Amino acid sequence: MYAPPVQRLITELSKLPGVGGRTAQRLAFHLLRASDEDALGLAEAIREVKQRIGLCEVCFNLADGPICRICADERRDAGLICVVEEPSDVVSIERTHEFLGRYHVLGGALSPIDGVDPEDLKIAELYERVERDEVREVVIATNPTTTGEATALHIAEGLRARTSELSVTRLASGLPVGADLEYADELTLGRALAGRRAV
């Protein structure tokens, strides 16, 4: 239906998450209409990010050198580690301006159905880091999904088996700000009750 280069562009764009065939087609035609400068700028940005961005040697967050900016920041508390599934989760937590420790990115969540086992994630590296860096607290901030909960439990058990002095905590979950109780599901409301605090 299209010239082979256009069809290849549509095929490659449709591999992006959340981009179906029609959206890929619209994006391809947008790029064809764009100036050479804009289209080549996008191509150059993609090439540069693939060449220059890797994983931090310490926390496995995205980095443009051997160590990410958060691990290189001496003002951050090295004794407090927040464990997340993906680098995008680091960005979400950083936006709160509430966490002043460092991170550990697992690279996913445990999912035996999908063939993701503990050795496929950066769990062993977390255990080594906790022992090496004299960490006081590990905040487990995996997603509140079945796989995220399973990952959190696995990590908590592994950490407690290695050291008894370490504080292992989990992000609280419950009602979002501005929500009505009548629209909350039982699990969310139950967690909100279990995690209640004094006012």
Please check whether residue 142 is in contact with residue 84, taking contact to mean a CB–CB distance below 8 angstroms. Answer: yes
Token match 């039982």: residue? Answer: 186
Confidence band for 123, pLDDT divided at 50, 70 and 90: very high
Please check whether residue 90 is in contact with residue 70, taking contact to mean a CB–CB distance below 8 angstroms. Answer: yes
* Beta-strand relationship, 54-55 and 62-63: antiparallel
Give the pLDDT confidence score for residue 107 in this predicted structure: 96
d(CA 20, CA 13): 8
Give the pLDDT confidence score for residue 40 in this predicted structure: 96
CA 23 to chain centre: 25
Give the pLDDT confidence score for residue 41 in this predicted structure: 96
State the average pLDDT for the chain.
92
Please name every residue paired with 170 in a beta bridge, in sequence order, or none if there are none: 140
pLDDT of 90 higher than 80: yes
Two tokens at 6? 């256009």
Dihedral angle of Cα 64, 147, 129, 77, to the nearest 10 degrees: 70
Confidence band for 62, pLDDT divided at 50, 70 and 90: very high
Confidence band for 21, pLDDT divided at 50, 70 and 90: very high
Q: Which domains does the chain have, with CATH numbers?
A: 4-52 (1.10.8.420), 77-170 (3.40.1360.10)
> pLDDT tens across 31-45, in order?
999 999 999 999 999
Q: How big is the chain by its Cα radius of gyration, in Å?
A: 21
> pLDDT tens across 125-148, in order?
999 999 998 899 999 999 988 999
Give the pLDDT confidence score for residue 2 in this predicted structure: 87
Please check whether residue 132 is in contact with residue 81, taking contact to mean a CB–CB distance below 8 angstroms. Answer: no
- Classify burial at 111, counting beta carbons within 10 Å of its beta carbon; exposed 0-12, middle 13-18, buried 19 or more: middle
> pLDDT tens across 155-168, in order?
999 999 988 889 99
Q: What are phi and psi of 144, to 5 degrees?
A: -80, 55
